[in-house]
Structure 1
Amino acid sequence: MTDHAHDLAALREATDRLLTATAKIDDAALAEPSRLPGWSRGHVVAHLSRNADALVNVLRGLPMYADSETRDRDIERDASRPRAEQQADLTATAARFVEAASDPADWSRTVTLRNGVTDSASRVPFRRRVEVELHHVDLNVGYELEDLPDEFVAREIDFLAERFGGHPDVVSTGLADDTGRLWTTGGGAEGGPVAVRGTAAELVGWLSGRRDGAALTVEGGTLPALPPL
């Protein structure tokens, strides 16, 4: 069961780590490439700010973004701003989201996210935490997948395994980390089952498209090619 209060507290901690890291990035470093193809670190920070505002919209029953073109344009517009302006925006928008997510509300209600995806309002703080934690890694400033809290990694593997469950392009796949935790995914394509084993960090890196899976052990076939998120 989703624990909204726990997720909000964990989000605050993740955000504090992120803000401490971005405060150390100067203007030149902000303009350098991130780990996301085609995006500078400035693009990642701008996206995080705009995502916070978008999720406030979700909690208020408004469209997450006006449209994809507006989302992309706003990120591009904000990516080249000076570091001080980016940091102030990131700090303010993060605080606005926490404030909105702390208001008394019916957290069992269904909300609509991007591209018509729906979810329980209670899961929105965790969705924001995913953005903060994984994009912190994408900044390439010394925070790695191995540094992510174990509880977060396990839950993100849960989420991604569920997302690819039954996907028509993914064969039946069993996942296991080095502590013995198990997940299943895929199953919509012919073939398999395939067994994929590795550390939780390597598994979440592969599932989220941040690592190529070369460090994983595969039995029963080849490592499935996952569709983009």
Structure 2
Amino acid sequence: MNRTMSWIAEGTALSRSALVDLDGQSLLPGWTRKHVAAHLALNAEALGNLVHWARTGEERPMYASPEQRNADIDAGALRPADELLDWFDESARSLTDAMATLTDGQWQARVRTAQGREVPATAIPWMRSREVMIHAVDLGTGVTFAELPTDFLEELCADIRAKRGDVPDVRGPLPQVAAYLAGRAYESVTTADGSPAQPLPPWL
């Protein structure tokens, strides 16, 4: 748990450093960097809902609906850049503070992800670390998978393989394999027989 919390701090700092020129295009099709910033802020608030659920037992879903989530991201992307940065900072800080209040027993409470999976609250820090790490790259302002911690990338690859299910057995440098499995741009990734790996659809 402590290491996952440190990944959140590292990823938040990386994302914050990459939140520049917010009107520019991100690496995610159809999204500016403002969309990514709004998504990250909303994600922190949504995971805060799960922390509340774990702490109080009051069911509080991450989002009202997928449609509302998308509408909120689009609306958030219309905010001025300084408001978005303040929102990113405050939402990240609030989530960290909320997680710090959970007891050992509350961390074991069952909550539900936006995809409908029932998980223990201990999954919340990992869910947040994925968001801030991967989207730091997606902002497209210089952060690459090679700059993410090695142990995070190893955990990410294992997580994606488990959740994607049937994915090719690929070889290559760990950052590039992680990028490939996440459906992002990659280089030097081949299948076991040495042929070029075929792209996967985006994940997360």
Structure in which a larger fraction of residues adopt strand = 1
**Which ranges in structure 1 are unaligned for 5 or more consecutive residues?**
175-195
From 168, 173, 191, the counterpart of 1:218: 191
Provide the TM-score with structure 1 as the length reference. Answer: 0.78
- Kindly report which structure 2 residues correspond to 1:35-184, keeping only aligned pairs within 5 A, or say none: 35-61=27-53, 62-105=60-103, 106-165=106-165, 167=166, 170=167, 173-174=168-169
From 15, 18, 22, the counterpart of 1:30: 22
Task: State, as a whole percentage, how many aligned pairs show the same letter.
Answer: 32
Counterpart secondary structure, 1:20: helix
Of 130-139 and 4-13, more deviation after overlay is shown by 4-13
Cα root mean square deviation, aligned: 1.8
Contact 1:113 1:119 in 2 (8 A): yes
**Which ranges in structure 2 are unaligned for 5 or more consecutive residues?**
54-59
In the TM superposition, residue 14 of structure 1 has moved relative to its aligned partner by 2.2
Of 110-119 and 39-48, more deviation after overlay is shown by 110-119
What does the per-residue CA deviation read over 1:64-90, in whole Å, with 9 as the maximum and x for residues that have no partner? Answer: 100011100010001121111011000
Q: Structure 1 CA distance, aligned partners of 2:39 and 2:172?
A: 31
Counterpart secondary structure, 2:82: helix
What does the per-residue CA deviation read over 1:20-70, in whole Å, with 9 as the maximum and x for residues that have no partner? Answer: 332xx2xxx211110000000000000000000000111222111000111
Structure with more relative contact order (C-alpha pairs < 8 Å, separation 6 or more): 2
Q: Structure 2 CA distance, aligned partners of 1:30 and 1:70?
A: 23
Q: What residue is the counterpart of 1:186 in the other structure? A: none
Structure in which a larger fraction of residues adopt helix = 2
In the TM superposition, residue 123 of structure 1 has moved relative to its aligned partner by 1.9
Of 148-157 and 218-227, more deviation after overlay is shown by 218-227
Q: Structure 1 CA distance, aligned partners of 2:17 and 2:24?
A: 19
Provide the TM-score with structure 2 as the length reference. Answer: 0.87
